[in-house]
Amino acid sequence: MKIALVGNPNSGKTTLFNALTGSNQYVGNWPGVTVEKKSGKYKNDKKIEIIDLPGVYSLSPYSLEEVIARNYIIDERPDAIINIVDGTNLERNLYLSEQVKDLGVPMVIAINMADSLRARGEEIDLKKLEKNLGVKCSLISAVKNELGDLMELIKKAERPQELNYLDADIEEAIAKIEVQLSNDTFKRFIAIKVLENDPKIIEKEKIDPKVITQAKELSLALAKKYDDDIESIITSKRYEYITKVTGNIYISKSSTKESISDKIDKIVTNRILALPIFVAVMTLVYYISVTTVGTMATDWVNDVLFGEIISPAVESFLVSINCVPWLQSLILDGVVAGLGAILGFVPQILVLFFLLAILEECGYMARIAFIMDRIFRKFGLSGKSFIPMLIGTGCGVPAIMASRTIENERDRRMTIMTTTFIPCSAKLPIIAMIAGALFNEAWWVAPSAYFLGVVAIIVSGIILKKTKPFLGEVAPFVMELPAYHIPKATAVLRSMWERGWSFIKKAGTIIFLSTVLIWLLTNFGFVDGQFRMLDTLEIEYSLAAIIGRAISFIFIPLGFGNWQATVATLMGLVAKENLVVTYGIIYGIAEASEEGSEFWGTLATSFTPVSGYALLAFNLLCAPCFAAIGAIKREMNNAKWTLAAVGYQCLFAYAVALMINQFGNLFIYGSFDFFTIVAVIVLLMMVYLLVRKPKAHSLKVVGAYE
C-alpha cells in the first residue's frame, strides 16, 4: 500500500511522517529536480510505504512544490492520501482539502494539534465534520504521537463523496468539460483546471484544442456573470462552502480564554520587542555553540582525540610497518591533519544544529520569518526570503533550493544571490579559527558574523531592488504560524543528526579529496630548478606558494596579501571548510601539542585583528562553495545569471573587506594610504546606490486568456 501525506507547511505533516515511519526513512530528490523527497516504511507494517509530499497551500501551479505534489498524485496514483490539517485553523487548511477531494483518491483527513485544541478549551464535532465534508476524519496530535484510529481508517479509506457545492452554472460548466476527458480517475480535478486555463495540466493531459476553446468560452461567460476571473470565482465559492462547513464544528469553545501561543506572541512578535528578542536569541545560540558548550567539546576532539590519540596512533602504526616517508607525510600531514582540523569543529556544529532544531520545533522560527517580513519588505525582499536564509545556517545548497517557494521570479533570483551571505555550518570553523587566533575566543565574533550576513542581505536588497532586473512589487508573504509547543526530543535529535551527518559526509568526500590536493601543492615544488618533494622548511618553494604569490596582490588592500591566505581562500571555493583545512596542513595542526598553541599562534603573526576580521568577512560573503554554485546554476537555469550572482557576491565581499581593513586601520592605528581613499570612494558609491531613487519601468499585466 502506498500512502501520500498532503498538507500545508507547518501543519505538522513532517512530524506525522516521522511518527509513522520512525527510522525507516529514505531521503533523496524528486526525479529531475532538486526538491527533497522523503519516503519511508510504516514502522508497524513494512508493506505500507508513506511518501511525504512537499508542503503546499493549494494544488494550483504557483510553485514547484505544488506542481510536484499534484503530479505525484496524478502520475503515481497512490492507494490513499492522508490530508493533514491544523485543527486550530480549519477554515484556512480545508481549502487544500477540497482540492485534494476533487482528485477522487481515497483519503482520510488527519486533524492535527489535538493538544493545542485541548489547551484552548475546544473540541471538534468529528461526526458533523465528516458528514459535511464527505470524508472520514481522525483527531491526532503528531507531536505527542497520539495517532488515534488514523491508520485503521486509512487502510479502509474510500473515495470522498462528491458534494457538488459550487453554484449550479459552475458545476454545469465543469460537467461539460468532464464528459470530454479521457482521464477517468481525476476527471473533476482536471476539468476544473482546464476551466481555469491551467497551462501545465493542459500540456500534461494533452487536452484537445476543441475542449480548450469550449473551456475558454465557458470561463469568459462565467467571468462576465460574476464580474471576476474564473479562478477567483471558484476560490471564493470554495471558501464560502468551507466557512459554512466549519461554522458550528467547534464545541465547548471558551471565547474568553486566550491561548498560551497568543500570550507569547504578544511579546515575541511585538513591533518594538520582536527584533531585539530575535537578536538576543541568535546571539545566545551562537554563544552556546561557538564559545561555551561547543568549544569545550571541540577542544577535547582537537587536543585529546586527534592530538593525543589518533595522530600518535597512526604515526606509530606507519612507522611499525616501515611506511615510506612521503606516504607517511601524505597520511599524517595531509589526511589526518586536514580532516582533524575540520572534524574537530563537528561538536560546535552539532550544538548549533541542536539549538536551531529546538527553535524550529517549538514554533519560534516561523515567527522569525513573520518578524523579518516587516523589515525585509522595506528593503525589497519578502519574508519568504528569510526561509532560505534560515535554512542557510545549515547549508547553502538546500537554502538555495528553498527559494523555489517564492513565486515572483525577480524576488527568487535576488534571494538566490544573497542567501549565502548567512554563515552556513561550513563557515563556522572559519569563525572559530579567527575568534581563537586573533580575538582570544571572544564571544561576540560569531554573532557579529551572523549579523554581518543579515546586514549584507538587507543592503543588497535595497541596492538590487532599484535596478531594472529586480524592479517591481515584492511578492506577498503567506505563512501559517503553528502553535507553540514543547519540542519532541526525537524530532530535535533527528534534525540535528541529519544536518550534522550531511556535513560529516561532505568532510569525508569533497574535503578529503581537497586535503590530498592541498598536500600535493604544499609538499611539491621547485628548488634550484628541480621539481621534487619538499622538506618541512621548504614550503616557501611549494606549488601552493608559487600560485599564492602570483595572485596575492589582489588581497593586499584587504590586509591579507600573503600566499598562505590566498591559497586558503582559493581552496575555500571548493568547500568553505577548506580554508581551515589548508591552514591546518600549512601549519601542521595535527602535530600541535594543544589545539591552537602552534596553529593559532603562527596565524596571529600574519594578521592584525583588523585584517583578520577582513579575511573573515571576505570568506563569509564571497562566492559560496562549488556545490552551492552548482545549486545556483540549477535554480537560475541560466549561465549568465549564475555568473552575475557569483560576480556580485565576490565584488560585494571585496568591497566590505576593503572598507573593514582600511577604515579599521585608519581609526585604530591611524594608517592612511591610497587604498583608504579607494575605500572612501567605495563607501560613497554604496551610499549613493542605497539612497538613489529607482527609475520607473512600465509593467504589463497579462490576463488569463489575453
DSSP string, 289-307: IIISHHHHHHHHIIIIIII
Closest CA to 575 of 504, 479, 643, 640: 504
Residues 283-342: pLDDT tens digits? 788 778 766 777 677 778 767 787 778 888 888 898 888 888 878 877 876 677 666 656
> For residue 579, with 0-12 CB atoms within 10 Å meaning exposed, 13-18 middle and 19 or more buried, which class applies?
buried
E strand or H helix at 353: helix 346-362
Q: Above 50 in pLDDT, residue 595?
A: no
Residue 653 cell numbers, joined? 565581499
CB 383 within 8 A of CB 346: no
Identity at 268, one-letter amino acid code:
V
Percent of the chain with pLDDT over 70: 84
CA 475 from chain centre, in angstroms, equals 18
Superfamily of domain 2-155: P-loop containing nucleotide triphosphate hydrolases (3.40.50.300)
State the Cα torsion 192-198-201-206 to the nearest 10°.
Answer: 100
Residues 355-408: pLDDT tens digits? 878 887 888 877 877 777 777 777 666 666 776 777 677 677 767 866 766 666
Cα–Cα distance measured from residue 16 to residue 145, given in angstroms and rounded to the nearest whole number = 8
Q: Above 70 in pLDDT, residue 705?
A: no
E strand or H helix at 124: strand 123-124
Q: State the pLDDT at residue 22.
A: 82
Phi, psi (rounded to 5 degrees) for 253 = -80, 130
Cα–Cα distance measured from residue 256 to residue 261, given in angstroms and rounded to the nearest whole number = 15
Cα–Cα distance measured from residue 671 to residue 662, given in angstroms and rounded to the nearest whole number = 8
Cα–Cα distance measured from residue 232 to residue 225, given in angstroms and rounded to the nearest whole number = 13
pTM: 0.59
Please tell me what DSSP assigns to residue 141.
B
**Could you tell me where the DSSP H helices lie in 159-306?**
168-178, 187-195, 199-204, 209-226, 230-246, 260-268, 274-286, 293-300
Span 672-686, average pLDDT = 93
Q: State the pLDDT at residue 30.
A: 55
Beta strands 25-29 and 36-42, pairing class: antiparallel
Confidence of residue 704 (pLDDT cuts 50, 70, 90): very low
Phi, psi (rounded to 5 degrees) for 111 = -90, 105
Closest CA to 390 of 356, 431, 432: 356
292: left (phi over 0), alpha (psi -120 to 50) or beta: alpha
Residues 233-287: pLDDT tens digits? 888 888 888 888 887 787 765 554 566 777 888 888 887 888 888 888 877 887 7
Q: Which residues share a beta bridge with 146?
A: 141
Identity at 555, one-letter amino acid code:
F
Helix (H, G, I), strand (E, B) or coil at 251: strand
Q: CATH 3.40.50.300 region(s) of the chain?
A: 2-155
Identity at 113, one-letter amino acid code:
M
